[in-house]
Structure 1
Amino acid sequence: MATTKISVPVVDLSNFPSEMKKLTAASTELGCFRVVNHGIPVALQAEMKAAVRFLFEMSAESKLRNTDIITGSGYVPPSPKNPSYEAFGLYDAASSSDVRDFCSRLEVSPFYREIISSYASKLHDLIVDLATKVAASLGLVDYSFQDWSCQLRMNKYNFSKETVGSTGAQIHTDNDFITVLQEDESVGGLEIMHFGGDFVAVDPVPDTFLVNLGDVAKVWSNGRLHNVKHRVQCKEALPRISVAFFILAPKDDRMEPQQEFVDCEHPPLYRTFSYLEYRKLRLSSGARAGEALALLAADQITGKSLVPDSSF
């Protein structure tokens, strides 16, 4: 259990390039930071939370209509490992047709459909801007994330008196490049692994987004970016809602260290691999806290299941 709290670095998006040094340190050391002046209206954030609560009030049968597009992208019901947690997934959230299909399957009203669509569009713009800034903070200027695949995930933790003190989401790293999280302003519980390996609590801050780096970022940067481990603990008997937006990987499904980060002093740490196969590997093996990256190390024997085919 965490015994301390921290305030993660706060990056002001209206103050670039002055904030670049702070962004570099946060991305390479802690793997986590907050953003302010992000341009997402407070009213839209509140409306999105209302839309998410509406979705979770649906029947179990209705929820299951949110099926996978790629592995692990649809509805996640409570499980023995995470009995308090459930989630909806919207892939690819940058596509208006995919948003429309998601809403149609769940028979979402036009009112909530418009909110979800507007939120997804604005969050996509924000996350592309953030990923571009993170790349620039490492010296890779003008790299484009515009066409990377993305996902919107709506989370609910059904915390009760019986679950206080338990884990709502197990220790994990995200399997993406970057995550932008709208937290529950009323209910905390998020903990990140701090320097030295201890978990520390990160309390929500109104009108900010929490940003963290995932496994793909570590591979893409040849180990420079830090994929932060985190978890959710039940601290009080209240339901907790959060909304996460992910940039996952290039749409050609090919992941490898960028050549700009590889030289004679920094050989490639990872071999080229298929992102979708890596996603399946994490889910099937249960190795969700970054351990699966060891199987992609450049000095490991290449296995067929994680090698891109000749179409790339």
Structure 2
Amino acid sequence: MVLHSKPAIEQLSKANNCAAFLGGIPLIDLSKPDSKAQLVRACEDLGFFKVINHGVPADLIRELESEAVRFFSLPLSVKEQAGPPDPFGYGDKKIGPNGDVGWVEYLLLTTNTHNFPSIFGEAADKFRWLVNEYISAVKKMACEILEMLAEGLRIQPRDAFSKLLMDEQSDSVFRVNHYPPCPDVQGRNLIGFGEHTDPQIISVLRSNNISGLQISLKDGRWISVPSDHNSFFINVGDSLQVMTNGRFKSVRHRVVANGSKSRLSMIYFGGPPLSEKIAPLASLMQGEEDSLYKEFTWFEYKKSAYKSKLADNRLGLFEKIAAS
């Protein structure tokens, strides 16, 4: 579930155009022994990084992407038979229930059950199998990353984060976004998906070799993320920010439309069970350090996020206000 504000189809002002980013996007080889420290640093500094040697089969990625392209190539009247999303299904331009729109169409699926509508026909079984295999592979990668982060933070047990994704009641979702070529671009940047943070614990993203993703730095500058269809990009989510008491940062990001090329992205959002209580881990609290957030359940946060616009600071409702 990705829920941010400002109308999503709009021209970006020149003052808000992407700035040069000298530091680059952190690149982490998951097979290297020093990757734990690099992961922690990336989550603290940016809340966003790229991973290689991730273990997800390239053939699986290509096949699922091919099936997704086939689906989005169907006539709109046919695709609409798989929606509207409530919240799962097919959506076109409208993002969430609160007025956000973007130059995007998408398919949103729960990771626990995959009920593919009849429009998939005989291809439904193949698509279902590919989605299941893909989700299994990226969830395994996400859990490996979360366990390495726990080790890097010296948290016990090692699965303090990953067990929430592995739980049978994990409220994780899988989203496929398609950004068609936007004929109105003509040198302007039009929003494909408005700026937001992801409310879950961790997000695992890949796209075809078309750029468009942008992230916001701490000083408010937007930077473009170079496309790389062989690697995965990882976002820290709001829930992980809370669990680390703000040590890790949930990254604000958006997608701009392309004037001539079609962009396809696939995102796994790793979420906890609905009843899970989200609060800073006691083992991370140092000395007299106070909790920055009120305790809440994932259901409470998800419900609050669903009522907000994409750009809203959803965590603001759960922050503790320092005594004056």
Q: CA separation in 1, counterparts of 2:26 and 2:35?
A: 11
Point out where structure 1 has 5 or more consecutive residues left out of the alignment. 301-312
Q: Which amino acid aligns with 2:59?
A: A
- Structure 2 gaps of 5+ residues are 1-16
| Contact 1:86-1:157 at 8 Å conserved across structures | yes
Partner residue of 2:227? Answer: 204
Return the TM-score normalized by structure 1: 0.84
- Whether the 8 Å contact between 1:66 and 1:102 is mirrored in structure 2 is no
What is the distance in 1 between the residues matched to 2:83 and 2:135? 17
Q: 1:216 deviation in Å?
A: 0.7
The question of 1:47 aligning with 2:84 is answered: no
Q: Distance in 2 between matches of 1:120 and 1:26?
A: 24
Contact 1:65 1:106 (8 Å CA) reproduced: no
Residue among 169, 192, 201 paired with 2:193: 169
Structure-1 separation of matches of 2:312 and 2:41: 20
Q: Return the offset for 1:168.
A: 0.8
Q: Give me the whole-angstrom Cα distance separating, in 1, the residues matched to 2:285 and 2:105.
A: 40
Q: Say if 2:150 is the partner of 1:131.
A: no
For residue 159 of structure 1, give the secondary structure of its aligned residue in structure 2: coil
- Is the counterpart of residue 87 in structure 1 residue 106 in structure 2? yes
* Matching residue of 2:175: 153
* 1:263 to partner: Cα distance: 4.8
In the alignment, structure 1 residue 77 sits paired with structure 2 residue 92: yes
The correspondence for 2:207, drawn from 178, 183, 186, is: 183
Contact 1:177–1:215, Cα closer than 8 Å, also in 2:
yes
Q: Which amino acid is the alignment partner of residue 113 of structure 1? A: R
Judging changes above 3 Å, is the alpha-carbon distance between structure 1 residues 263 and 83 closer, same or farther for their aligned structure 2 residues?
closer
TM superposition shift of 1:200: 0.5
Q: Indicate the percent of aligned positions where both proteins have the same amino acid.
A: 25
Compute the displacement of 1:10 (Å): 0.9
* Deviation (angstroms), 1:150: 1.4
Question: Quick one: distance in 1 between partners of 2:119 and 2:274?
Answer: 24
- 1:32 has 2:54 as partner: no
In structure 2, relative to structure 1, the CA distance for the partners of 1:156 and 1:268 (3 Å cut) is same
Question: In the TM superposition, what are the counterparts of 1:162-311 in structure 2 within 5 Å?
Answer: 162-163=184-185, 164-185=188-209, 187-286=210-309, 288-289=310-311, 291-299=313-321
Partner of 1:303: none
Aligned to 1:15: 32
Query: How far off its partner does 1:40 sit?
Result: 0.9
When residues 269 and 106 of structure 1 are mapped into structure 2, their CA distance, relative to the original with a 3 A threshold, is: farther
Q: 1:306 — aligned with what?
A: none
Q: Distance in 1 between matches of 2:295 and 2:239?
A: 12
Aligned position for 1:111: 126
Query: CA 1:159 to 1:109, structure 2 compared with 1: closer, same or farther past 3 Å?
Result: same
Greater relative contact order (Cα < 8 A, sep 6+): 2
How many residues matched? Answer: 290
Indicate the RMSD between aligned Cα atoms, in angstroms.
2.4
Cα displacement string for residues 126-179 of structure 1 (whole angstroms, at most 9, x for unaligned residues) = 112122222322221412332133111100112322135211111111111111
Instruction: Give the structure 2 partner of residue 307 of structure 1.
Output: none
- Per-residue deviation, residues 256-311 of structure 1 (Å, max 9, x unmatched): 2222123543211111213233223223221x3461211112349xxxxxxxxxxx
Deviation at 1:205, TM superposition (A): 1.8
SS of structure 2 residue aligned to 1:298? coil
The offset of 1:251, in angstroms, is 4.4
SS at match of 2:184: helix
Say whether the 8 Å CA contact 2:184–2:259 is kept in structure 1: no
When residues 274 and 77 of structure 1 are mapped into structure 2, their CA distance, relative to the original with a 3 A threshold, is farther
Q: Is the 8 A contact 2:84 2:91 kept in 1?
A: no
User: Is the Cα–Cα contact under 8 Å of residues 177 and 265 in structure 2 kept in the other structure?
Assistant: yes
Contact 2:245–2:291 at 8 Å: present in 1 too? Answer: yes
1:275 and 1:104, CA in 2 relative to 1: closer, same or farther beyond 3 A? farther
Name the CA distance, whole Å, in 1 between partners of 2:149 and 2:91: 30
1:81 Cα shift?
3.8
TM-score (norm: length of structure 2): 0.81
